[in-house]
Amino acid sequence: EAQVTQNPRYLITVTGKKLTVTCSQNMNHEYMSWYRQDPGLGLRQIYYSMNVEVTDKGDVPEGYKVSRKEKRNFPLILESPSPNQTSLYFCASSWRISGTVPSPAFFGQGTRLTVV
């Protein structure tokens, strides 16, 4: 089954304790991205990756890191989480964005993170 898998689904952590949210896709997609979703603010892109070893900042990258060592995996790293990073996080993947071919994003199930 084609899917994007995030883990964990729920996480409660304390301020300053490093954490990693994993994301894996089995569709051979080249493009992957991370979003956070907060009430009233919609989906905001944190980081994205066009391919292996190619990553770039989205709209709200502060406090986050990513890596893309393999095509299928795109982990999100919070080196020193703070309460303002409490949010619902989504990983998404899509085909290579080029030409005029529609390239919809497929989303993981989401990770609800609480930083206390």
Going by C-alpha positions, the residue among 50, 38, 42, 41 that lies closest to residue 93 is 50
Question: What residues numbered 13-72 form the site for other proteins, per CB under 8 A?
Answer: 33, 35, 40-43, 45, 48, 58
Span interacting with other proteins, options 14-22, 60-68, 71-79, 89-97, rule CB under 8 A: 89-97
Residue 1 near other proteins by CB under 8 A:
no
Contact between residue 110 and residue 59 where contact means Cβ atoms under 8 Å apart: no
Q: 52, exposed or middle or buried, with CB in 10 Å at 0-12, 13-18, 19+? A: middle
Residue 28: CB atoms within 10 Å: 10
Piece in contact with other proteins (CB under 8 A), picked from 20-28, 60-68, 69-77, 88-96 = 88-96
Is residue 105 at the binding interface for other proteins, with CB under 8 A as the rule? yes
Minimum CB distance to other proteins, residue 18 (Å):
25
Binding positions for other proteins, rule: CB under 8 A: 33, 35, 40-43, 45, 48, 58, 88, 90, 94, 97-100, 102-110, 112
